[in-house]
Structure formats: structure tokens, C-alpha cells
């Protein structure tokens, strides 16, 4: 396979104005008649028409109703001698085999229903087409299928006609009023039922909202519907973007490669992001559903109305839409503290997943320059870092300025396929006096340069002058294909805190405009400084409040300074961050001091006391406390080290958790009791936070009990597991028993399985908990191998495969990185097994060893062997081949 390069972009040689598709749906052999009207693109030199196809059986090609000559070039269908002037009609008749489509790209069967997934390049598995996002067409779709077996027939747009046919078959015709690229095409056919809601928008237009699920799942659709309604209202209120469809449908399927897909008017979702009930879904599930429903809905404007010119521009729609869904979730929060909690959670995802990606073999710019398989580039960099880039733009132009920029973006580009440059230009042009407008070319380095910038800060207090100077130096490490980087525009939100904890009023030297206790310093040079006047004593700098830029901040804080920030900064993000820094510092010290993590000094008294103060704090909310009291993850910790011994990292973190459990035992007990009675279940941020804190407390109490041999808390956990009236409390109690390896874990797991044996999504949790279980004696890998023999295991179902294999290889470092290399052997077996079924899922798993070069011996050598074992297989998919060769490069 060869690389596709952004620099090689050329406009299409033909436009496809209309597409009329006729499907005769049959799992074994579906017939597809594709009737298109095309014309040459006058801006491009005359050339042959090359249509993309993949695993299709071609039966017939007609041009203007007559047979014509064509040839195949690899998988492309090539037509020469097409009419030179005006429009012509091209008819292509193909068949495909949905029942055998285990890649879940194109048209496939799940649970005896038909679904499609076309983004990025799945439409070519349905028919021959110009499968690229800058070709936008009007679609009309005729679906025909057996009526009893497939009573519901759906596609994009409006249902214009339906009726019965001979032999028990029926049909439905759908016409999409909006032009779209083919990656947004969808069809669904099967036995489904819908929750429906009619709404009237502000502009008086009526819409029908529908959530389609299997008949037994109707009772789990209320939350998704409410989330959809909130999304419609929010986009209109915040950005003036109204729903442009009479009918908006969401359909759930249990076989899906990712979370969901924003097909125009017919979003297809993984059941995981639709179905929820108090009994089966956790608070986190409820929150995820709200944000994914929002995300897909927001794509209707950012992605569908304005789409990407080419796949290198993917972050144009993904970064922007993640930013929008993050803002949506924050705006739904009842208070500023809940907003901050959401921000901290988003930053945690960025730093534990995207920072390692940016430092590893798959590092790529937010707008990549080349790829072999585009599906490998649906990454945390495109999504989460892309969202941070959009967030920095909002920071630089202000919230109202950003909304103005969005309006201009739609005025200029609605209905077209554009680039990241077009977006940034619109935001800047709408705010001509902003820092963004002045710095736009430099700001756009965020799109072109990969790697996480490091921001080094130093503070100098001059007692005689009563000034304090902060000096910043930025740098960015080399990434594959690029050694040196130009300075970024870094918006640094900062303030100063006095030793007593009071925020200082900022007087900036040579700057009379700024007032108040926080300042946005926009850094553009490699080194820059800012001086504050009237500073009575050495202050504590609060830098990067709200995580105003996606950088790694180095500042040589003393423990006392961090304790001050933790207790007093006005910015909740920075308070949390100060606590994380203290824990990190102590962990790194322990890892350096003690080979097994056990003889380490551990957490100091001041830290323990500070954690107690947060836990017992009278006004901080529970969700925030839970975040502060959770130690940095093993993955994040490992990123801070040059050479990683995963077992040492694991042992160190476990020892720290045990110490926190032990020394705060009374406080945990108080926290558990004080946050346990919740009244009736509502998954709102406030009560979710209380349950999260109670859950953490219970896990700590069980951990302390394991050390002391006490049986009271495991008993209480079992009781709560049995009696809980919601999945959050029930699952937290089960997890507390399983992770501490208590003997009650076994009967609890058995009981959980029998209670929920008919609930796929709950069984996923059951599998994931065991595969992600804290390892004490190397017992997890054999357990994982046993789980894969369980009657409910199915490698073909991505959710189930992820629940076992990914939970072990990607989310359980202490169990996966075994000195005997057995974890890596397992990984290589599973990558190969999955690759034969579903390359996209396999390539995700392949990335579990991305950071192998950082590992200490013997892990490093055995990881390399495992990678080579996979690389040695001749018939690898492009997806896996690309990931593995980059890892080994
Ligand atoms: N746009 C889809 C992702 C498609 C992934 C293709 N491999 C979901 C989303 O980001 O909303
Ligand atoms: Zn998206």
C-alpha cells in the first residue's frame, strides 16, 4: 500500500450531481443499482473517470442507457470516452454479501438487521463511486426487502413513498433534500421499534425525532431522546444553528466499530451510547450518551452542512465537534464547579491518551500530511487535540467573538467541502482586532506541527523592586518526519497567589489595560517574560489556569507552593493539578528510590493532610473531591519517566493507594456514609459526583481492609452490591471486591452474571472488570484466556472483543506488562486473529505497544519481539501494517 499525501490533493475530474440507489436487500446477496448523473469538472483537464470499489461483484455498466467499455485498474472501475459536454447518466449494477461483512464497513448484517457504515471509505463497498468527501450529491434511495423479516426500512432524508410488493416484500423510498458526500449515506433495515417525539423549534418548524432500537430495548431510550432534545435546543441557543430536517433519526446497533456515526438525518449508534436505564447503566454511561448524542447531532452542521475537502482535514469537523460537545456538556452543568469537573475530565483524557500518542511512533499533526489507512487517523490527536486548538481560538477571540466567527464560517462555506485553513480564517476575520487575527499564520502551526510543546517557566522575585518576573521558554520535541519546530502561539491564563492564599491583584509592567486577578498572556516567541509590579512577597504563580493550552508545563514549585495552590487557587483546574503534581512527584521519587516500590518513603504527611482537608472540605463538591483524591494513572505516570518499568510503576502506585486507604480510613468511612443516601436515582452531575465519591471511598475501605484483615467493609460492599437500586452503586461495590481480590468477589461476579445474562452491555462490564482487574499474582492473564472461552464471548463483536482484550492490553498495564512476556504473546495472537475479521479493530489493538521503546529491559526486548511477530505475517491489513511498521521504525 502506498501513502496518500495532502500535497497531492487534486479536485475531482467529475461531479456526481444526483444518485438514485435501488437496493434489493438480502444478507447473502444484495443487489445494488446505482444510477448517477455526472458531468465533467470544467476546472480540471479532461481525463478518465475512475470510480472506487471494494469487494464488489460488478454485473453491468451503462452510459446513457447503452452498454459501454470499461476496464479495472486494481479495485477501481475506469471509464474512458465519456461524453465531453453536459450531463450524462451512468448506471452501475453490483452485488455484495452483507452477511459475510465482518469488517463492519459498507453494508453489513447485525442481529438480522442491515446497517451501513461509510465513513471514511465504506461507500465503495456498497457501489462504485467517487468515494471522497468533496463530491457532494443529491441522493434518492429505494429500499426493497422481505416485509416480515425487515419491517422497518430507513435511509437519509424524507420518506416519500412506501408500499407492498409481491412475494411478501415491501419497499420504501427516501429522498434527502440536502446534498451530501457519500460517506454520510446510510441505510437501516430490520425489526426495530422507535421512541418518537415531536418538537417545535424556535423558528416554528416542526420536527420528528426518533430513536430506533430492538423491540426489547424500548425502555432504555428515554435518556437518549432527552439528550437529543437538549442538543437541538443548545445548538440553536448557543450558535443559532437550527435543525434543517423534518425527521432526525438515531438507530442503535450492537455491532459497531466505534461510538456512533453522523449520517445525515440517520445517525447510527453503538448501543453503548444509546441504551440506558437506572438498572443497567452507570452515571458515566449516562454522561457519555449525552455527549455522544450531542456530538453526532452537532455534526449535522459542523461536518455535514460544511464538510471536509479531503480526509487530511478530518479535524475540521472532529476537533470542532468535540469542542462543541464539550461546551454542550459544560453548559448543561448547573454550576461553575461542575463545569470545572468536566474540564478536568477532558484534560485527563487528553493527557493520558493524546500526549503519549504525540510522543510516540504514531504522532501526527492535527492536520496530517500523509497516511496509508485513513481509519488509523481517527485519533485522540485529531479529536481531542483538535478540540483544544479550537478552544484556544475561542480563548483568543472570546466566547462572543467565537460565535461570530462560527456565523461567518457558515455564511462563507455552507453547503461546501473546505479546509482547516478556511475555518481558522473565518474565526479570525470575524474578529479583526483579536490576537488570533494578528497571529493567524503562526497560530496555524498548531495544525501543522506534531508533538506536545513543553513550556518551561521560571519565577524571579525582586524584593527591592517589589516585582515578580515570569520567564517562559517553549520547545517541542522531534516527531516522526520532523526534527525542528517553530514556536507556537500559546495562550497562558495566569494569576498570582499570595502566601496566605489570597489572589493578588495584577499590575503588569508597561500595561495599564489589564486589571483583576487573572491575565491572558499570549506567548509567541521561544522565550518571553512578563513582569508584575507592587508584589509584596514572593508569590505562587498559578500558570495555565483552565489548561488554557495543550502543553506540558514545567515549573519548579516547592511542595509548599503546590499545597497553597491546592488549597487556595481560584481556578479549580489548577487546584486539582497541584494535587496531581504532588502525587506525581512523590511517585517519581519512590520509583527512583526503591526497586520494588515497597521500601519507598511513600506519601508525606503534608500531602495526606491536604487530601484529608479536601475530602472533608465543607463546600467543595463531591465530584471534584473524587478527582483530587484519585492518583494519576499508571499511564500518565509512565509518561513522566524516561525509562519505564511498568511493574515498578504499578507497585508504586498501589503502595500509594494503600497508604491513602490506610491513613485516611476514618475519613473514607465518613465520606462513604455521608455520600451514600442519595434518595431516588437521578444521573445529574451533583448526585453522580456523590456516587463517584462514595464508590471511591468504598474501594479504599476494601483496600484498607485487605491490609488489616478486617472483614466488615468487604461484607458491606457485598451488601451494597446486592441491594443497590442502580448500576453505578452496584458496579462500584462489585469492583471494590474484585480489585481487592476478596473471596466475596467470586459469588458476586456469579450473581452479577446471572442477573444480567440477557443484557449485552452489562455483560461487557462483567468481562471488562475481570480483564481490567488489579493483578497480584499474575492471575489476570489466565483469567482473560478463560474469559475468551466463555459462552458469551464473541471475537466478532467489537464491544465484546474490546471488553476483554482491550481492557487487558490497553487498560491494565500492571497485568499486561509481564516479565515473562506472556502478555505480549497474547497481544500478538489477538492482533492477528482480529485482523482476519476486522482490521480497524485490530489496528486499534495494535497500538497498545506504541510506547514500547520507553520500556525497561526485559519488557522492551520482548515487546519488540512481539511486534516483529506480527510484522512477519505476510497478509496483514494496511491498517495493522501501518501501525506496526511505524512502531518498529
Ligand atoms: N465520524 C465518525 C467516525 C467515523 C470513523 C470511521 N473509521 C464518528 C464521529 O466522530 O462522530
Ligand atoms: Zn465526530
Q: What is the mean pLDDT of residues 338-365?
A: 98
User: Cell 465482518 belongs to which residue?
Assistant: 102
Our answer on whether the CB atom of 841 is closer than 6 Å to any ligand 1 atom is no
Among 103, 115, 119, which is best to mutate for testing ligand 1, by the most ligand atoms less than 8 A from CB? 119
Our answer on whether the CB atom of 759 is closer than 6 Å to any ligand 1 atom is no
Residues 6+ apart with CB under 8 A from 786: none
Cell digits for 876? Answer: 496483514
Q: Which ligand is nearest to the CA of 374?
A: 1
Give the distance, in angstroms, between the CA of residue 250 and the centroid of all CA atoms in the same chain.
19
- Homologous superfamily (CATH) of 307-448 is Neutral Protease Domain 2 (1.10.390.10)
Our answer on whether the CB atom of 373 is closer than 6 Å to any ligand 1 atom is no
Q: What is the mean pLDDT of residues 460-489?
A: 98
Q: Which residue's alpha carbon is nearest to atom 4 within ligand 1?
A: 119
pLDDT tens digits, one per residue of 563-615: 999 999 999 999 999 999 999 999 999 999 876 655 678 999 999 999 999 99
- What is the interface pTM, i.e. ipTM, of the complex? 0.99
Q: What is the pLDDT confidence band of residue 512, given thresholds at 50, 70 and 90?
A: confident
d(C-alpha 572, C-alpha 335), whole Å: 13
Q: Which residue's alpha carbon is nearest to atom 8 within ligand 1?
A: 261
Q: Which atom of ligand 1 is nearest to the CA of 322?
A: 10
Query: What residues does CATH 2.60.40.1840 cover in the chain?
Result: 454-554
Give the distance, in angstroms, between the CA of residue 825 and the centroid of all CA atoms in the same chain.
28
Nearest to 492 by CA among 437, 549, 557, 566: 549
Cβ atoms of 567 and 559 within 8 Å: the answer is no
Q: Which ligand is nearest to the CA of 323?
A: 2
pLDDT tens digits, one per residue of 788-831: 999 999 999 999 999 999 999 999 999 999 999 999 999 999 99
- Homologous superfamily (CATH) of 756-889 is Peptidase M1, alanyl aminopeptidase, C-terminal domain (1.25.50.10)
Cβ atoms of 265 and 249 within 8 Å: the answer is yes
**pLDDT surpassing 80 at residue 747:** yes
Our answer on whether the CB atom of 317 is closer than 6 Å to any ligand 1 atom is no
Burial of 630 (0-12, 13-18, 19+ CB in 10 A): middle
Q: What is the mean pLDDT of residues 161-183?
A: 98
Our answer on whether the CB atom of 569 is closer than 6 Å to any ligand 1 atom is no
Residues 6+ apart with CB under 8 A from 368: 6, 312, 377, 382
Q: What is the pLDDT, as a whole number, of residue 598?
A: 59
**pLDDT surpassing 60 at residue 785:** yes
d(C-alpha 866, C-alpha 870), whole Å: 7
Q: Which residue's alpha carbon is nearest to atom 7 within ligand 1?
A: 375
Residues 6+ apart with CB under 8 A from 663: 608
Nearest to 539 by CA among 466, 616, 450, 621: 466
Nearest to 678 by CA among 660, 664, 696, 692: 692
Q: Which residue's alpha carbon is nearest to atom 10 within ligand 1?
A: 318
pLDDT tens digits, one per residue of 69-102: 999 999 999 999 999 999 999 999 999 999 999 9
Our answer on whether the CB atom of 105 is closer than 6 Å to any ligand 1 atom is no
Q: What is the mean pLDDT of residues 63-74?
A: 97
Q: Ligand 1 centroid to 553 CA: how many Å?
A: 31
pTM, two decimal places? 0.99
What DSSP line would sit under 180-215, residue for residue? EEGGG--EEEES-EEEEEEEE-TTS-EEEEEEEE-G
Strand order in the sheet with 519-523: 519-523, 490-497, 540-543
Q: What is the pLDDT confidence band of residue 279, given thresholds at 50, 70 and 90?
A: very high
Q: Ligand 1 centroid to 701 CA: how many Å?
A: 41
Q: Ligand 1 centroid to 375 CA: how many Å?
A: 9
Q: Which atom of ligand 1 is nearest to the CA of 260?
A: 8
Give the fold, CATH level 3, of 454-554.
Answer: Immunoglobulin-like (2.60.40)
User: Cell 501501518 belongs to which residue?
Assistant: 882
**CB under 5 Å of ion ligand 2: residues:** 318, 321
Q: Which residue's alpha carbon is nearest to atom 1 within ligand 1?
A: 261
Q: Ligand 2 centroid to 752 CA: how many Å?
A: 34
Our answer on whether the CB atom of 614 is closer than 6 Å to any ligand 1 atom is no
Q: What is the mean pLDDT of the chain?
A: 97
Give the fold, CATH level 3, of 1-191.
Answer: Immunoglobulin-like (2.60.40)
Among 231, 256, 260, 300, which is best to mutate for testing ligand 1, by the most ligand atoms less than 8 A from CB? 260
Our answer on whether the CB atom of 296 is closer than 6 Å to any ligand 1 atom is yes
Cis amide linkage into residue 886, ω under 30° from 0: no
Q: What is the pLDDT, as a whole number, of residue 515?
A: 73
Instruction: Indicate if 55 belongs to the active site.
Output: no
Among 180, 250, 313, 318, which is best to mutate for testing ligand 1, by the most ligand atoms less than 8 A from CB? 318
Q: Which residue's alpha carbon is nearest to atom 9 within ligand 1?
A: 261
Among 108, 262, 289, 314, which is best to mutate for testing ligand 1, by the most ligand atoms less than 8 A from CB? 262
- Alpha-helical runs (H) found in 309-414: 314-331, 336-349, 355-359, 380, 386-413
Q: Ligand 2 centroid to 645 CA: how many Å?
A: 36
Give SS3 for 665. helix
Q: What is the pLDDT confidence band of residue 473, given thresholds at 50, 70 and 90?
A: very high
Q: Which residue's alpha carbon is nearest to atom 3 within ligand 1?
A: 261
Q: Ligand 1 centroid to 575 CA: how many Å?
A: 34
Query: What residues does CATH 2.60.40.1730 cover in the chain?
Result: 1-191
Q: Ligand 2 centroid to 316 CA: how many Å?
A: 10
Q: What is the pLDDT, as a whole number, of residue 594?
A: 74
Q: What is the pLDDT, as a whole number, of residue 510?
A: 87
3-state percent breakdown (helix, strand, coil) of the chain, nearest 5: 45, 20, 35
Q: What is the signed CA dihedral for 181, 182, 183, 185, rounded to 10 degrees?
A: 110
- Return the biggest CA–CA distance within the chain: 95
Q: What is the signed CA dihedral for 5, 6, 8, 14, rounded to 10 degrees?
A: 110
Among 183, 261, 882, which is best to mutate for testing ligand 1, by the most ligand atoms less than 8 A from CB? 261
Q: Which ligand is nearest to the CA of 302?
A: 2
Q: Ligand 1 centroid to 291 CA: how many Å?
A: 14
Our answer on whether the CB atom of 119 is closer than 6 Å to any ligand 1 atom is yes
Q: Annotated catalytic residue: which of 121, 262, 290, 296? A: 296
Q: Which atom of ligand 1 is nearest to the CA of 119?
A: 6
Among 258, 302, 316, which is best to mutate for testing ligand 1, by the most ligand atoms less than 8 A from CB? 258
Q: What is the pLDDT, as a whole number, of residue 196?
A: 98
Nearest to 459 by CA among 356, 517, 512, 537: 537
Q: What is the pLDDT, as a whole number, of residue 597?
A: 52
Our answer on whether the CB atom of 261 is closer than 6 Å to any ligand 1 atom is yes
Our answer on whether the CB atom of 729 is closer than 6 Å to any ligand 1 atom is no
Q: What is the mean pLDDT of residues 724-740?
A: 98
Q: What is the mean pLDDT of residues 334-348?
A: 96
**pLDDT surpassing 90 at residue 677:** no
Our answer on whether the CB atom of 295 is closer than 6 Å to any ligand 1 atom is yes
Q: Which atom of ligand 1 is nearest to the CA of 374?
A: 7
pLDDT tens digits, one per residue of 414-431: 999 999 999 999 999 999
Q: Ligand 1 centroid to 563 CA: how many Å?
A: 42
Cβ atoms of 117 and 106 within 8 Å: the answer is yes
Q: Which atom of ligand 1 is nearest to the CA of 292?
A: 11
Q: Which atom of ligand 1 is nearest to the CA of 120?
A: 6
Q: What is the pLDDT, as a whole number, of residue 595?
A: 65
Residues 6+ apart with CB under 8 A from 156: 139, 141, 174, 176, 180, 184, 185, 186, 263, 264, 265, 266
Q: Ligand 2 centroid to 28 CA: how many Å?
A: 32
Q: What is the pLDDT confidence band of residue 782, given thresholds at 50, 70 and 90?
A: very high
Q: Ligand 2 centroid to 378 CA: how many Å?
A: 9
109 beta partners: 114
Query: What residues does CATH 1.25.50.10 cover in the chain?
Result: 756-889
Q: Ligand 1 centroid to 43 CA: how many Å?
A: 31
Residues 106-109: contacts with CB under 8 Å, at least 24 apart: 106/54, 106/55, 107/30, 107/187, 108/255, 109/27
Amino acid at each position: 500500500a502506498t501513502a496518500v499525501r495532502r500535497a497531492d490533493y487534486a479536485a475531482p475530474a467529475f461531479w456526481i450531481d444526483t444518485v438514485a440507489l435501488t437496493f434489493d436487500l438480502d444478507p447473502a446477496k444484495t443487489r445494488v443499482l446505482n444510477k448517477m448523473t455526472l458531468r465533467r469538472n470544467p476546472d480540471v483537464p479532461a481525463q478518465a473517470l475512475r470510480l472506487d470499489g471494494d469487494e464488489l461483484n460488478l454485473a453491468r455498466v451503462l452510459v446513457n442507457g447503452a452498454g459501454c467499455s470499461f476496464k479495472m485498474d486494481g479495485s477501481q472501475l475506469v471509464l474512458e470516452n465519456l461524453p465531453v459536454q453536459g450531463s450524462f447518466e451512468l448506471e452501475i449494477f453490483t452485488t455484495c454479501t452483507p452477511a459475510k461483512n465482518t469488517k463492519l464497513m459498507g453494508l453489513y448484517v447485525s442481529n438480522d438487521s442491515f446497517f451501513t457504515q461509510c465513513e471514511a471509505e465504506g461507500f465503495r463497498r456498497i457501489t462504485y463511486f467517487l468515494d471522497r468527501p468533496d463530491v457532494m450529491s443529491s441522493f434518492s434511495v429505494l429500499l426493497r426487502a422481505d416485509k416480515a423479516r425487515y419491517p422497518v426500512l430507513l435511509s437519509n432524508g424524507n420518506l416519500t413513498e412506501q408500499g407492498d410488493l409481491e412475494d411478501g416484500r415491501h419497499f420504501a423510498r427516501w429522498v434527502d433534500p440536502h446534498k451530501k458526500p457519500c460517506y454520510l449515506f446510510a441505510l437501516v433495515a430490520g425489526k426495530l421499534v422507535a421512541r418518537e417525539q415531536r418538537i417545535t423549534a424556535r423558528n416554528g418548524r416542526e420536527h420528528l425525532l426518533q430513536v430506533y432500537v430492538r423491540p426489547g430495548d424500548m425502555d432504555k431510550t428515554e435518556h437518549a431522546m432527552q439528550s437529543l432534545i437538549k442538543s437541538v435546543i443548545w445548538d440553536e441557543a448557543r450558535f443559532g444553528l437550527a435543525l434543517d430536517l423534518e425527521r432526525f433519526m438515531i438507530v442503535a446497533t450492537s455491532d459497531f466499530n466505534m461510538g456512533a456515526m453522523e449520517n445525515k438525518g440517520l445517525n447510527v449508534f453503538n448501543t453503548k451510547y444509546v441504551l440506558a436505564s437506572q438498572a443497567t447503566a452507570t452515571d458515566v454511561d449516562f454522561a457519555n450518551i449525552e455527549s455522544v448524542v450531542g456530538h453526532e447531532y452537532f455534526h449535522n452542521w459542523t461536518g455535514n452542512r460544511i464538510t471536509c475537502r479531503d480526509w487530511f482535514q478530518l479535524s475540521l469537523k472532529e476537533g470542532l465537534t468535540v469542542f462543541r460537545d464539550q461546551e454542550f456538556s459544560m453548559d448543561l452543568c448547573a454550576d461553575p464547579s461542575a463545569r470545572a469537573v468536566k474540564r478536568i475530565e477532558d484534560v485527563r483524557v487528553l493527557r493520558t491518551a493524546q500526549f503519549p500518542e504525540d510522543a510516540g511512533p504514531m504522532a501526527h499533526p492535527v492536520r496530517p500530511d500523509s497516511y496509508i489507512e485513513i481509519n488509523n487517523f481517527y485519533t485522540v490527536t485529531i479529536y481531542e487535540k483538535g478540540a483544544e486548538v479550537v478552544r484556544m481560538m475561542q480563548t483568543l477571540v472570546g466566547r462572543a467573538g467565537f460565535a461570530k466567527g462560527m456565523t461567518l464560517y457558515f455564511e462563507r462555506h455552507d453547503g461546501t467541502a473546505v479546509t482547516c485553513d478556511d475555518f481558522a480564517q473565518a474565526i479570525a476575520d470575524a474578529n479583526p482586532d483579536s490576537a488570533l487575527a494578528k497571529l493567524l499564520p503562526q497560530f496555524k502551526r498548531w495544525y501543522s506541527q506534531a508533538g506536545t510543546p513543553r513550556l518551561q517557566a521560571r519565577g524571579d522575585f525582586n524584593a527591592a523592586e517589589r516585582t515578580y518576573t515570569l520567564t517562559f521558554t517553549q520547545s517541542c520535541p522531534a516527531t516522526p518526519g520532523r526534527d525542528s519546530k517553530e514556536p507556537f502561539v500559546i495562550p497562558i491564563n495566569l494569576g498570582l497567589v499570595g502566601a496566605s492564599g489570597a489572589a493578588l491583584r495584577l499590575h503588569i509592567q508597561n500595561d495599564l489595560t489589564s486589571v483583576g486577578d487573572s491575565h491572558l498572556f499570549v506567548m509567541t516567541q521561544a522565550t518571553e517574560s512578563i513582569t508584575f509590579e507592587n508584589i509584596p512577597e514572593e508569590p505562587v504563580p498559578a500558570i495555565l489556569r483552565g489548561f488554557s493550552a495543550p502543553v506540558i508545563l514545567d515549573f519548579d514549585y516547592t511542595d509548599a507552593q503546590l499545597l497553597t495552590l491546592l488549597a487556595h487557587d481560584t481556578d479549580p483546574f489548577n487546584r486539582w493539578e497541584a494535587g496531581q503534581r504532588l502525587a506525581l512527584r512523590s511517585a517519581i521519587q519512590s520509583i527512583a528510590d526503591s526497586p520494588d516500590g515497597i521500601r519507598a518513603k511513600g506519601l508525606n504527611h503534608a500531602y495526606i493532610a491536604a487530601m484529608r482537608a479536601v475530602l472533608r472540605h465543607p463546600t467543595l463538591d463531591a465530584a471534584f473531591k473524587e478527582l483530587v483524591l484519585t492518583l494519576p494513572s499508571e499511564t500518565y505516570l509512565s509518561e513522566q519517566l524516561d525509562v519505564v518499568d511498568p511493574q515498578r510503576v504499578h507497585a508504586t502506585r498501589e503502595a500509594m493507594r494503600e497508604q491513602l486507604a490506610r491513613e485516611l480510613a476514618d475519613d473514607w468511612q465518613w465520606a462513604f456514609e455521608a455520600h451514600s443516601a442519595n434518595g431516588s436515582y437521578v444521573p445529574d452531575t451533583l448526585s453522580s459526583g456523590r456516587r463517584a465519591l462514595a464508590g471511591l471511598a468504598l474501594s479504599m475501605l476494601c483496600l484498607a481492609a485487605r491490609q488489616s484483615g478486617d472483614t466488615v467493609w468487604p461484607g458491606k460492599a457485598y451488601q451494597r452490591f446486592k441491594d443497590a437500586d442502580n448500576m453505578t452503586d452496584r458496579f462500584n461495590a462489585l469492583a471494590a471486591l474484585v480489585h481487592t481480590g476478596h473471596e466475596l468477589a467470586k459469588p458476586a461476579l456469579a450473581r452479577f452474571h446471572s442477573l444480567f445474562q440477557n443484557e449485552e452491555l452489562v455483560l461487557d462490564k462483567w468481562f471488562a472488570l475481570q480483564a481490567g482487574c488489579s493483578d497480584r499474582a499474575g492471575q489476570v492473564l489466565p483469567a482473560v484466556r478463560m474469559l475468551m472461552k466463555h459462552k458469551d464471548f464473541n471475537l466478532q463483536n467489537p464491544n465484546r472483543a474490546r471488553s476483554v482484550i482491550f481492557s487487558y492490553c490497553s487498560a491494565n498495564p500492571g497485568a499486561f506488562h509481564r516479565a515473562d512476556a506472556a502478555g505480549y504473546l497474547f497481544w500478538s495472537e489477538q492482533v492477528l486473529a482480529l485482523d482476519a475479521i476486522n482490521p480497524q479493530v485490530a489496528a486499534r489493538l495494535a497500538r497498545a505497544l506504541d510506547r514500547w521503546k520507553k520500556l525497561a529491559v526485559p519488557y522492551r526486548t520482548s515487546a519488540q519481539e512481539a511486534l516483529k511477530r506480527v510484522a512477519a505475517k505476510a497478509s496483514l491489513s494496511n491498517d495493522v501494517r501501518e501501525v506496526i511498521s511505524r512502531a518498529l521504525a
